Structure 1
Amino acid sequence: MTNIPETGRTPRVQIRLVVIQVLVVSLLLTLGGRLWYLQIRNGEEFAAEADGNGVQRVVQPAVRGSILDARGVPLADNETRLVVSASRTDLMKMDDDGKAVLTKLAGVLGVQPKEITDKVRLCDAETPQPCWNGSPYQPIPITDEATPKQALQIRERAEDFPGITAEPTAVRRYTAPGDANTAQVLGYLSPVTDVEIEKAKDSESPYLRSDQVGRSGLERQYDKALRGKAGVTRYEVDNLGRVMGQAKSDKAEPGANVVTSIDARIQRIAEYELNEALKEARKVYDDNTSMNYKADSGAIVVMEAKTGRVVAMASNPTYDPNAWVGGITAKDYAKLTGKSSNYPLLNRAIQGQAAPGSIFKVIPVAAAVKAGYGFNDRYECSSSYAIGGQVFNNFESKGYGSIDLGQALEVSCDTVFYRLAHQEWQRDGGLKPKKGAKDWFYETAHEFGLGAETGIDLPNEVTGRVPDRQWKRDFWKANKDAWCKTGKKGGDFLQQLSYENCLEGNLMRAGDSVNYSIGQGDTLVTPIQMASIYAGIANGGTMHHPTVGKAVISADGKEITEIEPKVQRKLPVSRKTLAEIDEALEGVATRGTAAWRFTGWPQDEIPMHAKTGTAEVHGKQTTSWFASYTDDYAIVMTIAQGGTGSGASAPAVRNVYNALYGVSPEGTIDPKKALLPQPQKSLPKIQRDGTIDAPKLAPYKGQPEPSPTARALAGPPATTGRRD
């Protein structure tokens, strides 16, 4: 075998290696140069371009759940409307901040340009409504009432309307079935703010910039359940906005439906009767002020006696919650919040505070028995009661002689309660209270739940006030300087009162306790508090936390979370005393101060219990109160500056009972006309596709007029000046 010498191949191999090394070095130099070019010379430019690549989110808002009455009738749901919106971000990029575009848009929509420019400005401490209180990066709705023709004009001429969209969108609708407005109970929505987004970003239910959130009522209380979860599709895009791919997609989850204990039929009747009672009260002459009663506001609560569930809750004056949908106008906002509006946004059933007058007397009766006074002992109902040089009169200076506590409730005798309160005040040490003073009259009010929230599932409930010794001291500390500055001995009423409060406003005076015993003075209650108390008396002594929500049901009807009634407290009354109070309140309806309003009522079949009240307010006309109950329901109604309890409120309350039980003005029962003789127990059925088989409601036209015979039996009209 011939061997080829290695020396013959060496030069050739070496040449090849040199060539390869040169190529490698050249490539490395080229690559290094390119890297230097990209990262050093043009690094900032390319970094800026890279920053333009990213992920864009497209949000599909979740359909908000409906709010239903107890039978499934929608009180609040959604409807599809043509919504015209403006992108403030796009408008601000224009030389004139979008003024020309908005002016053109105003021409298409047939409104003044200022109306639109006001809507797209951002809210702050100095900017009045209307303005946008949502995120500046979120499309701002201009109108949700665009016509198809207007929407088509905007879309066909897109080059004339940059930053403007016109799209079909699901918007909130407050249906007012059968004219049942239910405004203050339902509440309203408005856009989420940046502050709210930031606060909720780490929570289980963070906000998106497109979200609308509840601002009051049930919309706020159950916002999380109603809101659902928006769908978000994430797209990878380059710096030119071109879609490079889909990163992730989350489907929208519709909000759950909230079923309430409200019955839209009874709600409508309660609203109607409250409004009619206000109108009737304004026709009545007030001898004390030499003018007709103003009857400027009122409230009514209809509650299930055994559960605390609210069947109807009305507040007057009221408003249309649809005014908030799509952004409220300046005119509508002024109507709802201006000084002359009388504040219709206020839910007076849970936020209206007033002295309760004689409907409060069930509490001092219970307190007197706890303090050792016998329910059936005899007490002097004189025409007046004097403490020192001050005389406290019974209403119209009437005297009823020696009566027991039950009769004192029936005829609403003030002087019986004056005596008891004065005696207890003296027993506790008077102006120099003993250590460990019992203060039965005040402590019992706290045990009845006054001076505290009832815990109803509605936001912004107020507590009312029990003016006990601690409150007196705290109030004096807070107001002493002002009293001492404005007080004047021997001046007018307010000056003299300020003078006395400056000197001894921290002391519980005899007159304070005497006035307190009949629900006057500094005592404040709300209608929901008194409805809870009377429902507790009706059911044998159990007070519940009032509830409006009854169940939360998923959009497909599969998941049901019932909201069970919860016990708040037991009334601080023995069964024996409770039965005696119950009997006395029945006597109020059959032979006492409310009897003339319940003439002909089928008492044997539907036992009625009631208490009338008329509270005096310095500088204003008297407040009308009426508290009542049957085995099934408790109803409390109040009218500010409305006159007497039996004169102004009682007729309206009876009409609500008539509708509940199908009772005619003459007192006969027609089961076919009874709307709700027993509380609704079953829940409405929601189909898998979200549909609800809900009954239709016709508007309520009022109770039929009683016959001449029934009117004659009903007794004198409200102008007689009956107190309670």
Structure 2
Amino acid sequence: MTNIPETGRTSRITIRLVVIQILVFSLLLTLGGRLWYLQIRQGDEFAAEAAGNHVQQVVQPAVRGSILDARGVPLADNETRLVVSADRTELGRLPDDGEAVLASLAELLGMPVEEVTNRVRLCDAETPQPCWNGSPYQPIPITDEATTQQALQIRERAEDFPGISAEPTAVRRYPSPEGANTAQVLGYLSPVTDEEVEETEDTDAPLLRSDQIGRSGLERAYDSYLRGRAGVTRYEVDKFGSVLGEAESEPGEAGANLVTSIDARVQAVVEDELAQAMEAARDEFDDISGRNYEADAGAAIVLENDTGRVVAMASAPDYDPNVWVGGISAREYERLTDEDAHNPLLNRAIQGQGPPGSTFKVITATAAVNAGHDFDDTYDCSSSYSVGGQSFRNFESSSYGPITLGQAIEVSCNTVFYGIAHQEWLADGGTDPVDNPDDWLFRTAHDFGLGQPTGIDLPNEAAGRIPDREWKQDYWEANEETWCDIADSDRQDYEARIARENCTEGMNMRAGDMLNFSIGQGDVLVTPIQLATVYAALGNGGTLYTPTVGRAVIAADGEVIEEFEPQPSGQLPADEETLGNLRDATAAVMTTGSAAWRFGGWPQSEIPLRGKTGTAEASGDQQTTSWLATYSDDYTVVMTISQAGTGSGASGPAVRNIWEAIYGVGDDGSVDPDAALLPEPNRDLPRIDENGTIVPEQDEQPAQRREE
């Protein structure tokens, strides 16, 4: 046996003790650091979470405010329905993630299993509609059309339907008074997302996971007024969920009501006339394309001239806004978004853009006068105008010889405006422009408010386009590479020839560009609401107004929170003489000019009408678009129908019928004031009773008649 020296053994023991001490010290240090991190660094966060685990909140959704027409008639309000909802959290605890429960529920409700399943799945980038884009932690509505018997079965057989509830709930309703859908103007609601809740946490009006918010139209534009504030009651509970007491509560506040300038009666007429005009156009044969007109989309607007308030706004095709209530079905969503549906969700009155055709000529005529051309001079109205080897022809009219600018508007002579545009182009230097060219045509179009949004109180308004020199340069820079790639190829087709020209000269303002611009063709784009504001300004003496739909916000107790006054946005660049000449010329359009065949027998001496027809040509196999802009001393009515033919041909009868309904004009030209829907603009808000209730005018009429 080997003897180990005592000193060696002592040394090894000492080393072991030191190592053990280091390990113990390291462990204590680690535990201390972790304790500091949990208690100090994240103490507040965990304390809040711990408190949250012992506090549960019950949310009482606020009653959303109503949207009313100018007479107080509801366009959107609420009704109590039996809503069946699913709790994803509770369903997720089941072995099959709730598949069996949802299948049983679908059978009870008489709904396809797939539709029920789709409604409770969460939306993401790869999940198509329908799906739930709200918080996964709040009940997801499956249907708001449950019967009393179905609701009772769900509640009585709770063990068979875990995670499923059936409760009476106030849901949105779009009653379509007088048959007026007003779908694209009203918009729709959908649940808030987690991101939206987080974004508003530190604001004065935070969103709750149970909230629904407006996604388009007035529902979106005035959401902060309409939504109100949900009531929240917080309860202290133990770990078993038993209530220990009430922690605190925040009382709810009903949403305010929005009174609009829409008149539901006029709205219904405008929607119906637009739809009938499109139907009639589809029965007409187009000699140019060799097929019937497609008439695939359209829009119509009635505007108050001296306020800019919207009396009616229709977009076609339209849809029933109630399809969004309670969650849209897969079949309905596919129908609305199908390519053949022509996008009924689009509000073409403010988002539809296209060349305005000859309705643009009032702008060109104003530019001509401002550039020094006399309104009453004579200009040659030939059948065509040639420049650079290309012939530009009249579309709606024949050769009239020497005529004035007013007569050129009356008969819609293109070549008069071609000649003026060509002269102005040459005066500015042609393809080699002078420094700071006058650009009267472009400048005047901008001064008429075109090329920018009107500022209407509806979301996603399109800006239109005035293709001036700046736009031309930007467009060329954006497309130069593509054009030049085509130019370098061996292609010899029409597109290749145009690409070669654009590759080297696309930044230049060419004579043809100016000629097309002068009659509202080429790259010019306007929206119906822009054109309506232009003609309303002609009707009121030259003031451009920001168009509005909202008239006033009224609290649930009847207090007027805010009343929206008309907002002027500019003045037309025309003196009184020019405005008078334009009014005379547009009056002649209706009596002896291009719209006369549609307005024969109109009581012009009692109710003067003025207007301008427009037929916008399209490229490729697209058919011409019909435009008709008309105005009285009180209102402006604009209608456009895509691929429907001429301005007066397709839109003329419908626009006349709208005017007849507004003023009570019969087929024989007689005026019946009792038949008039709105012979003068509505200047007053609806009556509010002593309880704060907004009283629809239609409810007052019988009493008024009895008093008389």
The answer to whether TM tops 0.5 is: yes
The structural deviation recorded for 1:48 is 13
Preserved CA contact (<8 Å) 2:536 2:544:
yes
Q: Which amino acid aligns with 1:281?
A: A
Is residue 219 from structure 1 mapped to residue 236 from structure 2 by the alignment?
no
Q: Which amino acid aligns with 2:378?
A: R
CA distance in 2, matches of 1:604, 1:494: 53
Counterpart secondary structure, 1:423: helix
Preserved CA contact (<8 Å) 2:559 2:692:
no
Q: Which amino acid aligns with 1:420?
A: I
Preserved CA contact (<8 Å) 2:552 2:560:
no
The structural deviation recorded for 1:482 is 2.0
Preserved CA contact (<8 Å) 1:364 1:417:
yes
Moved more, 279-288 or 389-398: 389-398
Aligned residue number for residue 18 of structure 2: none
Preserved CA contact (<8 Å) 1:271 1:315:
yes
Identity fraction in percent: 64
CA distance in 1, matches of 2:459, 2:179: 24
Aligned residue number for residue 96 of structure 2: 96
CA distance in 2, matches of 1:596, 1:151: 61
Mapping 1:441-460, distance limit 5 Å: 441-460=441-460
Q: Which has the higher Rg, Structure 1 or Structure 2?
A: 1
Question: Relative to structure 1, is the Cα distance of residues 240 and 397 closer, same or farther in structure 2, using a 3 angstrom cutoff?
Answer: closer
Aligned residue number for residue 207 of structure 1: 207
The structural deviation recorded for 1:685 is 2.3
Preserved CA contact (<8 Å) 1:70 1:260:
yes
The structural deviation recorded for 1:122 is 0.5
Counterpart secondary structure, 1:498: helix
Q: Could you tell me which of 630, 633, 636 is aligned with 2:632? A: 630
Aligned residue number for residue 676 of structure 1: 678
CA distance in 2, matches of 1:485, 1:327: 48
Is residue 614 from structure 1 mapped to residue 615 from structure 2 by the alignment?
yes
Aligned residue number for residue 513 of structure 1: 514
CA distance in 2, matches of 1:682, 1:173: 26
- CA-based RMSD of the aligned residues comes to 1.8
Aligned residue number for residue 5 of structure 1: none
Preserved CA contact (<8 Å) 1:51 1:239:
no
Preserved CA contact (<8 Å) 2:397 2:412:
no
Count of aligned residue pairs for this structure pair: 653
Question: Relative to structure 1, is the Cα distance of residues 599 and 224 closer, same or farther in structure 2, using a 3 angstrom cutoff?
Answer: same
Counterpart secondary structure, 1:274: helix
The structural deviation recorded for 1:681 is 1.1
The structural deviation recorded for 1:98 is 1.0
CA distance in 1, matches of 2:394, 2:50: 87
The structural deviation recorded for 1:495 is 3.1
Per-residue deviation, residues 152-192 of structure 1 (Å, max 9, x unmatched): 00000011111110000000001101110000000000000
Preserved CA contact (<8 Å) 2:396 2:412:
no
Per-residue deviation, residues 49-68 of structure 1 (Å, max 9, x unmatched): 97685221110000000000
Aligned residue number for residue 523 of structure 2: 522
Per-residue deviation, residues 260-311 of structure 1 (Å, max 9, x unmatched): 0000000000000000000111111111011111100000000001110000
Aligned residue number for residue 134 of structure 2: 134
Preserved CA contact (<8 Å) 2:59 2:231:
yes
The structural deviation recorded for 1:696 is 5.2
The structural deviation recorded for 1:480 is 1.7
Mapping 1:520-599, distance limit 5 Å: 520-599=521-600
Mapping 1:289-300, distance limit 5 Å: 289-300=289-300
Counterpart secondary structure, 1:586: helix
Question: Relative to structure 1, is the Cα distance of residues 594 and 489 closer, same or farther in structure 2, using a 3 angstrom cutoff?
Answer: farther
Per-residue deviation, residues 400-442 of structure 1 (Å, max 9, x unmatched): 1111111110011101100100111111011111101011001
Moved more, 385-394 or 637-646: 385-394
CA distance in 2, matches of 1:423, 1:505: 21
Q: Which amino acid aligns with 2:574?
A: V
Question: Relative to structure 1, is the Cα distance of residues 420 and 172 closer, same or farther in structure 2, using a 3 angstrom cutoff?
Answer: same
Aligned residue number for residue 120 of structure 2: 120
The structural deviation recorded for 1:690 is 5.3
CA distance in 1, matches of 2:680, 2:184: 25
Q: Which amino acid aligns with 1:645?
A: G
CA distance in 2, matches of 1:48, 1:498: 65
Q: Could you tell me which of 651, 654, 663 is aligned with 1:652? A: 654
CA distance in 2, matches of 1:48, 1:505: 64
The structural deviation recorded for 1:579 is 0.7
CA distance in 1, matches of 2:49, 2:627: 73
The structural deviation recorded for 1:496 is 2.5
Aligned residue number for residue 602 of structure 1: 603
CA distance in 1, matches of 2:296, 2:674: 36
The structural deviation recorded for 1:397 is 7.0
Question: Relative to structure 1, is the Cα distance of residues 397 and 535 closer, same or farther in structure 2, using a 3 angstrom cutoff?
Answer: closer
Preserved CA contact (<8 Å) 1:556 1:686:
no
The structural deviation recorded for 1:341 is 1.6
Aligned residue number for residue 719 of structure 1: none
Instruction: Give unpaired runs (5+ residues) of structure 2.
Output: 1-34, 40-46, 700-708
Aligned residue number for residue 665 of structure 2: 663
The structural deviation recorded for 1:490 is 8.1
Aligned residue number for residue 473 of structure 2: 473
CA distance in 1, matches of 2:53, 2:147: 39
Moved more, 679-688 or 104-113: 679-688
Counterpart secondary structure, 1:311: strand
Per-residue deviation, residues 22-71 of structure 1 (Å, max 9, x unmatched): xxxxxxxxxxxxxxxxx9xxx9xxx9997685221110000000000000
Aligned residue number for residue 346 of structure 1: 346
Counterpart secondary structure, 2:392: strand
CA distance in 2, matches of 1:593, 1:201: 59
Question: Relative to structure 1, is the Cα distance of residues 577 and 83 closer, same or farther in structure 2, using a 3 angstrom cutoff?
Answer: same
Counterpart secondary structure, 1:160: coil
Q: Which amino acid aligns with 2:595?
A: A
The structural deviation recorded for 1:340 is 1.8
Preserved CA contact (<8 Å) 2:278 2:641:
yes
**TM-score normalized with structure 2 length:** 0.90
Counterpart secondary structure, 1:203: coil
Counterpart secondary structure, 2:687: coil
Counterpart secondary structure, 2:386: strand
Question: Relative to structure 1, is the Cα distance of residues 396 and 224 closer, same or farther in structure 2, using a 3 angstrom cutoff?
Answer: closer
Mapping 1:3-18, distance limit 5 Å: none
Question: Relative to structure 1, is the Cα distance of residues 214 and 49 closer, same or farther in structure 2, using a 3 angstrom cutoff?
Answer: closer
The structural deviation recorded for 1:511 is 0.3
Aligned residue number for residue 707 of structure 1: none
Q: Which amino acid aligns with 1:161?
A: F
Counterpart secondary structure, 1:159: coil
Is residue 144 from structure 1 mapped to residue 144 from structure 2 by the alignment?
yes
CA distance in 2, matches of 1:649, 1:397: 18
Question: Relative to structure 1, is the Cα distance of residues 499 and 311 closer, same or farther in structure 2, using a 3 angstrom cutoff?
Answer: same
Per-residue deviation, residues 454-507 of structure 1 (Å, max 9, x unmatched): 000000000000011110110111112222334578844333222322221111
Q: Which amino acid aligns with 2:494?
A: F
Q: Which amino acid aligns with 2:538?
A: I
CA distance in 2, matches of 1:245, 1:511: 80
CA distance in 2, matches of 1:540, 1:461: 26
The structural deviation recorded for 1:561 is 1.4
Counterpart secondary structure, 1:213: strand
Moved more, 370-379 or 519-528: 370-379
Question: Relative to structure 1, is the Cα distance of residues 687 and 192 closer, same or farther in structure 2, using a 3 angstrom cutoff?
Answer: farther
CA distance in 2, matches of 1:473, 1:145: 57
Counterpart secondary structure, 2:623: coil
Per-residue deviation, residues 669-715 of structure 1 (Å, max 9, x unmatched): 01110110001111112345454332559xxxxxxxxxxxxxxxxxx
CA distance in 1, matches of 2:596, 2:588: 8
Moved more, 454-463 or 555-564: 555-564
CA distance in 2, matches of 1:435, 1:385: 28
CA distance in 2, matches of 1:622, 1:669: 35
Counterpart secondary structure, 1:434: coil
Aligned residue number for residue 371 of structure 1: 371
Q: Which amino acid aligns with 2:548?
A: T
Aligned residue number for residue 406 of structure 2: 406
CA distance in 1, matches of 2:585, 2:52: 80
The structural deviation recorded for 1:112 is 2.2
Q: Which amino acid aligns with 1:684?
A: P
Moved more, 388-397 or 445-454: 388-397
